[in-house]
Amino acid sequence: MRKFFLSLILCSAIFLYSQGQAKYVFYFIGDGMGVNQVNAAEMYNAELDGNIGVKPFLFTTFPVASFATTFSVSNGITDSAAAGTAMATGSKTKNGAIGVDSTLVNSLMSVAEKAKAKGMKVGVTTSVSIDHATPASFYAHQANRNMNYEIAQDLVLSGFDFFGGSGFVKPETRYDKTPAPSIYPVMKQAGYSFAYGYEDFLANLKNNDKVILVNNKDADNHNLTYAIDRENSELTLAQITEAAVQTLSKDNNQGFFVMVEGGQIDWACHANDAATAFWEIADMDEAVKIAYNFYLAHPDETLIVVTADHETGGIVLGTGRSELNLKVLQYQKVSKGKLSSHIQALREKTNHQANWEQVKELLAEYVGLWKSVPVSEAQEKAIYGAYKNSFVDGDTKQEKSLYQSDEKLAAVAIQVLNEIAMIGWTSGSHSAGYVPVFAIGAGADLFKGKMDNTEIPNKISQAANF
């Protein structure tokens, strides 16, 4: 038996030597990005080219592809805090907990903290707020994911080298709702320099050692603009990733670890907004391309892992007939939230008296209904009912999903478009569906075979030897 274990250890050592040790680690997490989200987005891409099948993203072409389970200690369906903690620390915890075990007291060491302890530079980035559940799980230790101010304090304590995202949601308010000193001077005193947008980073901070890159000034601190709605001047996840690489690789012989979250895939799926979710997956793939270019320059020392924390929405491809019609989603030009803004602008412009033809014209422009996408009598009746309820009867109550509130007319219009595309949703929340795992580079073979989400950070640690 002793010989067997010695042989096993020797084989493991030979395997890691042959693979090469990961000096540079990119850990991508598509929040809410289940297997079906990826498959649907690739099938949509294929339909846009006039083909049936899939048009792969870069990350789905990686040589290792598998899947993982996501349950938490407290439930078969995890939230982002418990999933983030599992994926950061290799340990399960209760829903809502950040970087602590199920007692909500004992801190768990994250893979990012292990990398920092080894002497590597570390970055944590996201397309939502830096104090949101998934990024927080890599540097914070709090009993509740809503302890945003306390989480931001933990950022300072982490000493990590780069943070990127939209900003901080409660920089001056503690969890108990009492006022607190602004977290920004505290971060600056700890040696962090702030960049407001990518151009500001390039102009002023690309040579700094400790950087926090946030949204452009006067932009939303809760999230970056959805890719489907974004203007050219607005900050992107790919730019954040590029800034992280520049900061972490400068004057660095020890290597680096960076986590990159595509956070708004989840938000779009909570809203059951398929087209917007597909844009967000494609947007994360653009960030993966930044990592892949780095990998091409350092193929024997770089590991890229792409996965998700959980599935959101229970998305279904096919709603009764053996057909899909995903290509109609190309006519959706804005997110459901942006469509709500356009409807509200029309309401104000017409003093709440917009007629049916004006509403149809707006939906034709932004969703393609009637103009490019045929609408059945039943579907038009549903949309008209939402119009009448809102513009004629004066009921302007919003439809709420986890991260946004939308005009009911917008919600019905997007629902109809999804129906025409033959996409279904089983909920507006998380599911227990499998999530994909893709890997390339040093140690990638460790990710072969079905796994649990807690195994992913442990495999990263094994590949990088920290």
Q: Which CATH number characterizes residue 455's domain?
A: 3.40.720.10
Q: In terms of residues, how long is the chain? A: 466
Calculate the average pLDDT of the chain.
95
Q: Identify whether residues 290 and 156 lie together within a single domain.
A: yes
- What is the spatial distance between Cα 114 and Cα 108, in angstroms, rounded to a whole number? 11
Q: Which domain holds residue 167?
A: 22-316+429-464
Which tokens belong to 338?
Answer: 């942006």
- Which pLDDT band holds residue 207 (cuts at 50, 70, 90)? confident
pLDDT at 205 (0 to 100): 86
More confident residue, 195 or 16: 195
- What is the spatial distance between Cα 190 and Cα 82, in angstroms, rounded to a whole number? 29
Would you say residue 9 lies in a domain? Answer: no
User: Is 50 exceeded by the pLDDT of residue 91?
Assistant: yes
Q: Identify whether residues 149 and 33 lie together within a single domain.
A: yes
Q: What is the mean pLDDT of residues 213-226?
A: 95
Q: Identify whether residues 98 and 207 lie together within a single domain.
A: yes
Would you say residue 198 lies in a domain? Answer: yes
Would you say residue 374 lies in a domain? Answer: yes
User: Is 90 exceeded by the pLDDT of residue 7?
Assistant: no
Would you say residue 15 lies in a domain? Answer: no
User: Is 90 exceeded by the pLDDT of residue 450?
Assistant: yes
Residues in a beta bridge with 405? 400
pLDDT at 12 (0 to 100): 47
Domain total of the chain: 2
Express each pLDDT in 380-422 by its tens digit.
Answer: 999 999 999 999 998 889 999 999 999 999 999 999 999 999 9
User: Is 50 exceeded by the pLDDT of residue 340?
Assistant: yes
Q: Identify whether residues 200 and 296 lie together within a single domain.
A: yes
Q: Identify whether residues 372 and 285 lie together within a single domain.
A: no
Measuring CA to CA, how many Å separate 62 from each of 278, 373, 452? 19, 36, 20
Residues 126, 261: contact at Cβ < 8 Å? yes
Q: What is the mean pLDDT of residues 227-254?
A: 97
Q: Quickly list DSSP for 322-355.
A: S---GGGGGG--S-HHHHHHHHHHHHHHTTT---
Q: Identify whether residues 285 and 302 lie together within a single domain.
A: yes
Q: Identify whether residues 208 and 334 lie together within a single domain.
A: no
> Quick one: which H or E segment has residue 123?
strand 121-126
Q: Identify whether residues 368 and 445 lie together within a single domain.
A: no
- What is the spatial distance between Cα 81 and Cα 102, in angstroms, rounded to a whole number? 12
Which tokens belong to 335?
Answer: 């997110």
Q: Identify whether residues 279 and 386 lie together within a single domain.
A: no
- What is the spatial distance between Cα 288 and Cα 37, in angstroms, rounded to a whole number? 17
Would you say residue 457 lies in a domain? Answer: yes
User: Is 50 exceeded by the pLDDT of residue 5?
Assistant: no
Residues 255, 21: contact at Cβ < 8 Å? no
Q: Identify whether residues 189 and 159 lie together within a single domain.
A: yes
- Which pLDDT band holds residue 455 (cuts at 50, 70, 90)? very high
Which tokens belong to 230?
Answer: 């974004």
- Grouping H, G, I as helix, E, B as strand and the rest as coil, residue 230 is coil
User: Is 60 exceeded by the pLDDT of residue 15?
Assistant: no
- What is the spatial distance between Cα 75 and Cα 52, in angstroms, rounded to a whole number? 38
User: Is 90 exceeded by the pLDDT of residue 148?
Assistant: yes
- Grouping H, G, I as helix, E, B as strand and the rest as coil, residue 308 is coil
Residues in a beta bridge with 26? 258, 304
Would you say residue 16 lies in a domain? Answer: no
Q: What is the mean pLDDT of residues 115-123?
A: 98
Would you say residue 211 lies in a domain? Answer: yes
User: Is 60 exceeded by the pLDDT of residue 8?
Assistant: no
Regarding pTM above 0.85, the answer is yes
Express each pLDDT in 150-198 by its tens digit.
Answer: 999 999 999 999 999 999 999 999 999 999 999 999 999 999 999 999 9
Q: Identify whether residues 332 and 286 lie together within a single domain.
A: no
Residues 144, 175: contact at Cβ < 8 Å? yes
Would you say residue 12 lies in a domain? Answer: no
Which tokens belong to 458?
Answer: 């442990």
Q: Identify whether residues 197 and 282 lie together within a single domain.
A: yes
List alpha helices for 216-317, DSSP H.
237-249, 264-270, 274-297
